[in-house]
Amino acid sequence: MIKIVNVVGARPNFMKIAPIQREMVKYKHIEPLLVHTGQHYDERMSKLFFDDLEMPKPDIYLNVGSASHAVQTAKIMIEFEQVLLEHQPHLVVVVGDVNSTAACSLVAVKLGIKVAHVEAGLRSFDRTMPEEINRLLTDAISDFLFVTEQSGLVNLKREGILDSKVHFVGHVMIDSLIHFTKKAALSTIKQTLGLADHSYALITLHRPGNVDNRENFCKLLNAFELIERDIKIIFPIHPRSKKMIKEFGLEERIDRMNNLILMEPLGYLDFMNLLHSARFVLTDSGGIQEETTYLGIPCLTMRENTERPVTVESGTNILVGSNTDLILSEAKKILSGNEKKGKIPPLWDGKAAKRIVDLLFNC
């Protein structure tokens, strides 16, 4: 029996682990153990995501909570070490680039346990991003590196990672998107909000560079104020953004936008339902750049860089930073029917998890 620990720490991890966990249970000789570090934890939202993604309740919940990067990483390492010492797994699977990814990888490697990193090789080349440090560290010490796009292969080779460790498998997040398309279509969120298909733009916004900086946040609001004159905007607000709106005294500006619908964070299925039918998306998220590329939906990424260059080179993504004029001009192109067209990258076919588990089982 092969015992494998699958780690999740924050909501973006759930969509990546779900298809892997689902695939592993098909193998009689694999015993998957699901560990939730609790790095980001909201009881209602976590339960909603687990239910939406048909994931089992975590076998182990570490309850580390929010803290500074150093404190949070240390807490995860202390708690996760005890899990590994007790259960003695053959392998630890980590996904993405959150603190849990780097912390759990480091603990496993120091105990002589192999690590598989799903979504390896992505690089923004911006070391001010904590996620970039997590990606670099995790890839440097992993035994299996599962890559989602061609840039990952190039980056890992440049960094001296052995070719034998690297596997181009596609993207498990797209596995989830494909698997739950029909279920997401059953969501009634559009009816609840009174929305017709393609009659709205969708915003996600949470990165510190955008929301912790008052000047940048105001530049984005300037753009939103102009865009909402032409199209309704749906804004499921991240707790960080909500907090900073209050701290910066921007509530009145938000309230004056009559065509902007501010709402609490949504579960996976409701959000996917809105995403499928959005006219375009404004985001600073990583995964949404990929989901919109797969769906062929125009995406304006409010960042100066991206660790997912295939979404710009082949997909529907355009980097606009916090430049009000650029955001507005690109939005107007989309609304006039002149949006950027894209194509689906190689191996984004819903079978990435199967490739990953087959490789792990046969190694």
Higher pLDDT, 87 or 47: 87
Same-domain pairing of 206 and 140: no
Overall average pLDDT of the 74-103 stretch: 97
DSSP 3-state assignment of 280?
strand
Strands 166-168 and 144-147: parallel
Same-domain pairing of 195 and 143: no
pLDDT beyond 70 at 79: yes
Same-domain pairing of 187 and 322: yes
Helical H runs in 257-321? 268-277, 287-295, 310-313
Q: Is residue 341 part of a domain?
A: no
Higher pLDDT, 11 or 236: 236
Same-domain pairing of 122 and 156: yes
pLDDT over 70 for what percent of the chain? 98
For residue 92, give its domain range.
2-171+348-362
Strand partners, 211: none
Annotated catalytic residues are 206
pLDDT beyond 80 at 165: yes
pLDDT beyond 90 at 126: yes
Q: How many domains does the chain have?
A: 2
pLDDT digits (tens, 9 = 90+) for 208-243: 999 999 999 999 999 999 999 999 999 999 989 999
Same-domain pairing of 270 and 150: no
Same-domain pairing of 95 and 223: no
Q: Is residue 60 part of a domain?
A: yes
Cβ(113)–Cβ(106) under 8 Å? no
Same-domain pairing of 299 and 278: yes
Overall average pLDDT of the 149-168 stretch: 98
pLDDT digits (tens, 9 = 90+) for 50-70: 889 999 899 999 988 888 889
- What DSSP state is assigned to residue 116? E
pLDDT at residue 41 in the model: 59
* Global model pTM greater than 0.75: yes
> Dmax over Cα atoms in the chain, in whole Å?
60
Pair of tokens at residue 264: 């609490």
Strand partners, 8: 36
Same-domain pairing of 162 and 49: yes
pLDDT beyond 90 at 346: yes
pLDDT at residue 271 in the model: 97
Overall average pLDDT of the 239-254 stretch: 95
- What DSSP state is assigned to residue 357? H
Using only C-alpha atoms, the chain has a radius of gyration, in whole angstroms, of 20
Q: Is residue 160 part of a domain?
A: yes
pLDDT at residue 39 in the model: 75
Same-domain pairing of 106 and 221: no
Q: Given strand 114-120, what is the order of strands in its sheet?
A: 60-61, 30-36, 2-8, 91-95, 114-120, 144-147, 166-168
Same-domain pairing of 69 and 133: yes
pLDDT at residue 50 in the model: 85
Rounded distance, CA 292 to CA 79, Å?
Answer: 36
Q: Which residues contact 350 (CB under 8 A, 6 or more apart)?
A: 174, 175, 178, 179
Q: Is residue 342 part of a domain?
A: no
Amino acid present at 169: V
CATH code for position 243: 3.40.50.2000
Strand partners, 92: 5, 115
pLDDT at residue 12 in the model: 86
The neighbour count for residue 26, using CB atoms within 10 Å, is: 9
Amino acid present at 171: H
pLDDT digits (tens, 9 = 90+) for 194-215: 999 999 999 999 999 999 999 9
Same-domain pairing of 202 and 162: no
pLDDT digits (tens, 9 = 90+) for 317-339: 999 999 999 999 999 999 999 99
DSSP 3-state assignment of 36?
strand
Rounded distance, CA 295 to CA 263, Å?
Answer: 24
pLDDT at residue 361 in the model: 85
